[in-house]
Structure 1
Amino acid sequence: MAATDFDTTLPSIRQLQNWIKEKTSVEFKLMSGDVITGKVFWQDINCVCIVDANEEKTIVWKLAIAYMKARS
């Protein structure tokens, strides 16, 4: 498998896919300290697209994410 392939066997990729499918509200803490909340709209090998409560889409580089967790 090439380094640029999207490996759906990785637990983090599967978890994001589940959040997309279930439309789970998620909190992303970025390395900058910023926090983004919303629902994961899509992901690719480099980025995640998050839709907030105002239906605004934000694309975040995965390398910028410190952590992500489902909101209760």
Structure 2
Amino acid sequence: MITEFDTSLPSIRQVQNLIKQTTPVEFKLLTGDVLTGRVLWQDAHCICIADENSQQTTVWKQAIAYIKPKS
């Protein structure tokens, strides 16, 4: 079964805006780890973030405690 990617959800739209605006973000994971960078893409299950060295990390959405724009 394929999960539909529901772009009507506010959380999906918010991440899409972060991608379009290339906004630096901070991801806090449920493990307590913090990742910073820019969101490259998202799908129904994962989000990919690139750090300042363009190192890409794919994170399962279930592992994320929060995402916030970096100030």
**Normalising by the residue count of structure 1, what TM-score does the alignment of the two structures yield?**
0.95
Residue 43 (structure 2) aligns with:
44
What's the % identity of the aligned pairs? 62
Residue 55 (structure 2) aligns with:
56
Residue 17 (structure 1) aligns with:
16
The alpha-carbon deviation at position 3 of structure 1 amounts to 7.4
Q: How many residue pairs align between the two structures? A: 71
The alpha-carbon deviation at position 27 of structure 1 amounts to 0.3
Determine the C-alpha separation between the residues in 1 that align with 2:29 and 2:2.
24
> Which deviations, in whole Å up to 9, do the C-alpha atoms of 1:31-59 show, x marking residues without a partner?
00000000000000000000000000000
Q: What do you get for the CA RMSD once the two structures are aligned?
A: 1.3
**Normalising by the residue count of structure 2, what TM-score does the alignment of the two structures yield?**
0.96
